[in-house]
Protein backbone atom coordinates (compact mmCIF):
# COMPACT_ATOMS: atom_id res chain seq x y z
CA UNK A 1 0.00 0.00 0.00
CA UNK A 2 1.37 3.39 -0.98
CA UNK A 3 1.86 6.26 1.42
CA UNK A 4 -0.99 8.26 -0.11
CA UNK A 5 -3.36 5.29 0.23
CA UNK A 6 -2.22 4.72 3.81
CA UNK A 7 -2.84 8.37 4.70
CA UNK A 8 -6.30 8.20 3.14
CA UNK A 9 -7.01 5.11 5.26
CA UNK A 10 -5.99 6.90 8.45
CA UNK A 11 -8.24 9.84 7.56
CA UNK A 12 -11.16 7.51 6.78
CA UNK A 13 -10.73 5.67 10.09
CA UNK A 14 -10.59 8.98 11.96
CA UNK A 15 -13.76 10.15 10.19
CA UNK A 16 -15.56 6.86 10.95
CA UNK A 17 -14.47 6.92 14.59
CA UNK A 18 -15.67 10.50 15.03
CA UNK A 19 -19.03 9.67 13.45
CA UNK A 20 -19.50 6.56 15.61
CA UNK A 21 -18.60 8.49 18.75
CA UNK A 22 -21.27 11.05 17.83
CA UNK A 23 -23.70 8.11 17.71
CA UNK A 24 -22.76 7.21 21.30
CA UNK A 25 -20.09 4.54 20.79
CA UNK A 26 -16.83 4.70 22.74
CA UNK A 27 -13.53 4.00 21.01
CA UNK A 28 -11.43 1.37 22.78
CA UNK A 29 -8.72 0.69 20.22
CA UNK A 30 -7.56 1.55 16.69
CA UNK A 31 -5.85 -0.79 14.24
CA UNK A 32 -5.76 -3.89 16.42
CA UNK A 33 -3.30 -6.22 14.69
CA UNK A 34 -2.44 -9.84 15.20
CA UNK A 35 -1.09 -12.60 13.02
CA UNK A 36 -4.61 -13.46 11.81
CA UNK A 37 -5.60 -10.00 10.63
CA UNK A 38 -6.49 -6.47 11.63
CA UNK A 39 -9.50 -4.70 13.06
CA UNK A 40 -9.75 -1.03 12.12
CA UNK A 41 -11.71 0.07 15.19
CA UNK A 42 -12.76 -1.66 18.40
CA UNK A 43 -15.60 0.24 20.02
CA UNK A 44 -18.17 -0.18 22.74
CA UNK A 45 -21.88 0.43 22.14
CA UNK A 46 -23.41 0.31 25.61
CA UNK A 47 -22.95 -3.35 26.65
CA UNK A 48 -21.81 -4.55 23.20
CA UNK A 49 -18.25 -4.79 21.91
CA UNK A 50 -18.16 -3.67 18.28
CA UNK A 51 -15.49 -4.63 15.76
CA UNK A 52 -15.60 -2.09 12.93
CA UNK A 53 -14.23 -2.46 9.41
CA UNK A 54 -13.75 0.87 7.63
CA UNK A 55 -13.63 0.91 3.82
CA UNK A 56 -13.17 3.86 1.54
CA UNK A 57 -13.61 4.10 -2.22
CA UNK A 58 -13.23 7.33 -4.11
CA UNK A 59 -14.37 5.72 -7.35
CA UNK A 60 -17.38 3.39 -7.38
CA UNK A 61 -16.84 1.99 -10.90
CA UNK A 62 -15.81 -1.30 -9.30
CA UNK A 63 -18.51 -1.26 -6.62
CA UNK A 64 -19.39 0.38 -3.36
CA UNK A 65 -16.87 0.55 -0.51
CA UNK A 66 -18.92 -1.85 1.60
CA UNK A 67 -19.11 -4.37 -1.24
CA UNK A 68 -15.35 -4.78 -0.99
CA UNK A 69 -15.69 -6.62 2.35
CA UNK A 70 -15.70 -10.09 0.85
CA UNK A 71 -15.94 -13.42 2.70
CA UNK A 72 -12.14 -13.73 2.85
CA UNK A 73 -11.87 -10.33 4.55
CA UNK A 74 -14.74 -11.19 6.92
CA UNK A 75 -12.92 -14.39 7.91
CA UNK A 76 -9.72 -12.44 8.71
CA UNK A 77 -11.67 -9.92 10.79
CA UNK A 78 -13.41 -12.76 12.70
CA UNK A 79 -10.05 -14.41 13.42
CA UNK A 80 -8.60 -11.10 14.66
CA UNK A 81 -11.70 -10.59 16.83
CA UNK A 82 -11.23 -14.06 18.36
CA UNK A 83 -7.62 -13.13 19.15
CA UNK A 84 -8.76 -9.84 20.70
CA UNK A 85 -11.30 -11.63 22.89
CA UNK A 86 -8.68 -14.16 24.05
CA UNK A 87 -6.44 -11.34 25.25
CA UNK A 88 -9.04 -9.01 26.75
CA UNK A 89 -11.56 -9.67 29.48
CA UNK A 90 -14.82 -9.12 27.62
CA UNK A 91 -17.80 -11.29 28.49
CA UNK A 92 -20.66 -9.39 26.87
CA UNK A 93 -22.12 -9.59 23.36
CA UNK A 94 -20.13 -8.65 20.25
CA UNK A 95 -20.99 -7.58 16.73
CA UNK A 96 -19.29 -6.69 13.47
CA UNK A 97 -20.12 -3.32 11.93
CA UNK A 98 -18.91 -1.75 8.71
CA UNK A 99 -18.47 1.86 7.71
CA UNK A 100 -18.20 2.68 4.02
CA UNK A 101 -17.02 6.06 2.80
CA UNK A 102 -17.70 6.84 -0.84
CA UNK A 103 -16.98 9.73 -3.15
CA UNK A 104 -17.08 13.08 -1.42
CA UNK A 105 -16.88 11.65 2.10
CA UNK A 106 -20.41 10.22 2.24
CA UNK A 107 -20.46 7.79 5.13
CA UNK A 108 -22.67 4.70 5.42
CA UNK A 109 -22.75 2.75 8.71
CA UNK A 110 -24.08 -0.81 8.74
CA UNK A 111 -24.62 -2.41 12.13
CA UNK A 112 -24.25 -6.19 12.30
CA UNK A 113 -22.83 -6.15 8.77
CA UNK A 114 -21.81 -9.81 9.03
CA UNK A 115 -21.60 -12.55 11.64
**What pLDDT score does 2 carry?**
62
Residue 66 pLDDT: 80
User: Is pLDDT of 4 > 70?
Assistant: no
Q: Residue 33: what pLDDT?
A: 95
**Per-residue pLDDT tens over the stretch 30-54:** 999 999 999 999 999 999 999 999 9
Total length of the chain: 115
* 3-state class (DSSP) for residue 66: helix
CA pair distance 9, 82, nearest whole angstrom: 24
Say yes or no: domain 3-114 is CATH 3.40.1350.10: yes
Say if residues 36 and 80 touch (Cβ distance below 8 Å).
yes
Per-residue pLDDT at 102: 82
* Mean pLDDT within 55-82: 83
Reported as a pLDDT band with limits 50, 70 and 90, residue 64 is: confident
55 or 27, higher pLDDT? 27
Contact, 50 vs 17, CB < 8 A?
no
Amino acid sequence: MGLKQQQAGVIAERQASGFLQQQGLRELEKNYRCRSGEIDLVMQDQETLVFVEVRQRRDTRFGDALESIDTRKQHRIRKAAEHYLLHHSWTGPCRFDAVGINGAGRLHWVQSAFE
